[in-house]
Chains A and B, each alone.
Chain A
Amino acid sequence: GAGVSQSPRYKVAKRGQDVALRCDPISGHVSLFWYQQALGQGPEFLTYFQNEAQLDKSGLPSDRFFAERPEGSVSTLKIQRTQQEDSAVYLCASSSRTGFYEQYFGPGTRLTVT
């Protein structure tokens, strides 16, 4: 596709529910990133994939957060037993091998935990 797409755009979950957020990166981009953006703050790094390999997951806030990219394209961020503090916008970004540092972001998924 032309850009990074994410679904759903909005998700409301009751505390304790599991959620799955999907990211479709730009075709051919080998690197994929997940960020969490709290209200009024800048995005914060969660995890990074190069193709299907998860090379850095240092930003995942707890073991309730899990990400995968099994075939090196689409990625899913899963949050188990959601808590109110998980409410945020979850952004996915991808980058090409040649544009090493420039990352291109999707529109994000706004998660609200009630």
Chain B
Amino acid sequence: DQQVKQNSPSLSVQEGRISILNCDYTNSMFDYFLWYKKYPAEGPTFLISISSIKDKNEDGRFTVFLNKSAKHLSLHIVPSQPGDSAVYFCAASWLQGAQKLVFGQGTRLTINP
């Protein structure tokens, strides 16, 4: 059972425009959500996170939105830059889960010049 789902395997966005990556989850016990970015042949790099007590967290060009009632979160990148081209993973964790992360399948983002 896939507890964290990223339903779009790929996304293509023009440079300078907004990129929106989506993630859905099924486990109501999740209380912390993270986004990771991964380049080929490298490990995932932590990008931004959000606690379940918030509905928005912003860090520079990156904003994560959490809709608990819909069990949905999204990552907004504004403006998109060529260096943002990578695979993005959504991950979730919960206090009783001993910090282990449950990942989605990833979305490959391509920023076109």
Q: Which residues of A contact B (CB under 8 A)?
A: 4, 31, 33, 35, 40-45, 48, 55-56, 59, 91, 93, 95, 100-108
The interface size of chain B toward A, counting residues with CB under 8 Å, comes to 24
Instruction: Beyond the given A100-B99, A105-B44, A108-B42, please list 17 additional residue pairs across the A-B interface where CB-CB is below 8 A.
Output: A31-B99, A40-B106, A41-B105, A42-B6, A42-B104, A42-B106, A45-B100, A45-B102, A48-B100, A56-B98, A56-B100, A95-B99, A101-B32, A104-B46, A107-B41, A107-B42, A108-B43
Taking CB atoms, residues of chain A closer than 8 Å to B89 are: 42-43
CB-nearest residue of chain A relative to B43? Answer: A105
A102 touches B49 (CB 8 A): yes
A-B contacts, 13 listed (Cβ < 8 Å): A35-B101, A42-B4, A42-B6, A42-B91, A42-B104, A42-B105, A43-B89, A43-B103, A48-B98, A101-B32, A101-B49, A102-B34, A108-B43
Q: Any chain A CB within 8 A of the CB of B45?
A: yes
Q: What is the CA–CA distance of A48 and B97 in the complex, to the nearest angstrom? A: 11
Q: What is the CA–CA distance of A48 and B101 in the complex, to the nearest angstrom? A: 11
A101 touches B105 (CB 8 A): no
Taking CB atoms, residues of chain A closer than 8 Å to B91 are: 42
Chain B: minimal CB distance from A7 (Å): 13
Chain A to chain B: the 10 pairs with minimum beta-carbon distance, closest first: A42-B103, A105-B43, A45-B100, A101-B32, A56-B98, A105-B44, A107-B43, A43-B103, A106-B43, A101-B93
Within 8 A of A (CB), among B73-93: 89, 91, 93
